[in-house]
Amino acid sequence: MRCERCDGEVNERYRFCPWCAAPLRTKLVEHFAAHPLIERQTVALRVSRYLTDQRHTRFSIWNADGAAAAISLDEVEAARLSRFIGAGEHAVGKSGPGLRASAQALITELKSVARR
């Protein structure tokens, strides 16, 4: 397979061209398991990055029945979330309740939206 941007040879498993960093897919997906000691149900977080003209990142919470809730963030909000998560626990006391409590609040809110 060849990169459309630089014409370099790439393996079809790659997400990005190793020569010019061009995205080779228009959608990137990762799955994250819930914390086993906090979540009593089997749930997971699926994060999808859409590299189309209208770039966005979609977060969806999945259970055994399928997607329970989802929300899309534009590039600015996704970058802000990335900075927030990257700050880690050393940010506790400076900007609020900490990463774990904020993540739990987000999960609770998404679950309540799914029930509506």
Return d(Cα 20, Cα 92) in angstroms, integer.
Answer: 38
Cα 8 to Cα 17: distance, rounded to the nearest angstrom: 8
Rounded Cα–Cα distance for residues 56 and 70 (Å): 13
Residue closest to 112 by CA, chosen among 73, 68, 80: 68
Supply 32's token pair.
Answer: 């994250």
Q: Which of 30-39, 68-77, 94-103, 106-115 has the highest mean pLDDT?
A: 68-77
Question: Is residue 116 very low, low, confident or very high in pLDDT (cuts 50, 70, 90)?
Answer: low
Q: What pLDDT does residue 47 have? A: 96
The chain-wide mean pLDDT, for the chain, equals 84
The candidate with the shortest Cα–Cα distance to 43, out of 22, 28, 26, 61, is 61
Region 47-63: mean pLDDT is: 92
CA 108/CA 116 separation, integer angstroms: 13
Q: Are 23 and 15 contacting, i.e. CB atoms less than 8 angstroms apart?
A: yes
Residues 19 and 11: their CA atoms lie apart, in Å, by: 12
